[in-house]
Amino acid sequence: MRDTASDKPTRATESGTRDGHPAAQTQARTPGTNVHETIAHEIGLRIVRGDYPPGTILPNEAKWSKTFGVSRSAVREAIKMLMAKSLLSSRPKIGSWVLPRERWNLLDRDVLGWYAMSPDREAFLRTVQEFRHIIEPEATALAAARRSEAQMAEISAACREMGAAVSLPERTAADTRFHLAILRASGNDLLVPLGVLIESALEHLFVFVTREANDLRHAQKLHESIERNIRLQRPAAARAAVRKLLANTDGIIKAPST
């Protein structure tokens, strides 16, 4: 059904965006990716950052083919990918148009990545943090009560690797492993796949937080407190330790960038 204004297709201009705003330059294809995946990435990013608002009818295959210098079949496959992510719908004689934002699959790894690259990055970070406040304290308390020795070893190793990291990618990768390992140790079958789905969002958040944090040693101590309370199987203390970490991250997000 398309009863709301955002559901009504509005044709984009030939320049590639609605209302005549120029489209961003096409990005070079990433080595090792298929052509249609690169095209899907470029169009998807433009949709999520607002170049094509909900209801906009996208350029047809021929125009995209000319814009990107690729075959129409590659464009067709890219559009299919974006439809599978619920960003687009399509109908014969109308074409493809952008679906309302509430229909988008924001748990899709690619969509999360495009969301993180959108101009309103602070809103994305706040959304991820709200999600963490809802999930992580109780998941960590469950992990303290239920974790196995092997799961504890995984959590402890990730915490140590955070402290020993010498680069931003190393630290953020270890940080992500730490939190995903806790979700696995919670023993809740729904939290495990959820962690995999939000992995991309966590990575983007941790990159930002690590860059902006004034005292990484303090952040490391907060993680070590979580690890220690899970290891000692103290659910209430583990829950409280996570809340302290989340509060610290909230402060970093709200602080103005220098």
Q: How many CA atoms lie within 13 A of 186 on its CB side?
A: 25
What pLDDT score does 8 carry?
54
The residue type found at 183 is L
What pLDDT score does 32 carry?
46
What pLDDT score does 108 carry?
86
What pLDDT score does 12 carry?
63
Buried b / exposed e across 226-254, counting CB within 10 Å, b at 16+? bbebbbeebbebbbbbbeebbeebbebbe
- Those residues whose C-beta lies under 8 Å from the C-beta of residue 15, and which sit 6 or more positions away, are 21, 22, 23
Question: Hey, how many other C-beta atoms are within 10 angstroms of the C-beta on 95?
Answer: 18
Q: How many CA atoms lie within 13 A of 44 on its CB side?
A: 31
Domains of the chain: 5-105 (1.10.10.10), 120-254 (1.20.120.530)
What pLDDT score does 23 carry?
42
Backbone angles phi, psi at 222, to 5 degrees: -65, -40
- Residue 151: which of 142, 162, 143 has the closest Cα? 143
pTM of structure:
0.74
pLDDT tens-digit profile of 174-185? 999 999 999 999
| DSSP codes joined into one string, 7-56 | GS-EEPPTTSSGGGPPPPPPPPPPTTS-HHHHHHHHHHHHHHTTSS-TTE
- Residuewise pLDDT in 10s, the chain (258 residues): 444 444 556 666 544 444 434 344 444 444 446 899 999 999 999 999 999 999 999 999 999 999 999 999 999 999 999 999 999 999 988 899 999 999 999 888 889 888 888 777 788 889 889 999 999 999 999 999 999 999 999 999 999 999 999 999 999 999 999 999 999 999 999 988 888 777 878 888 898 888 888 788 999 999 999 999 999 999 999 999 999 999 999 998 887 554
What pLDDT score does 17 carry?
44
pLDDT tens-digit profile of 121-140? 788 889 889 999 999 999 99
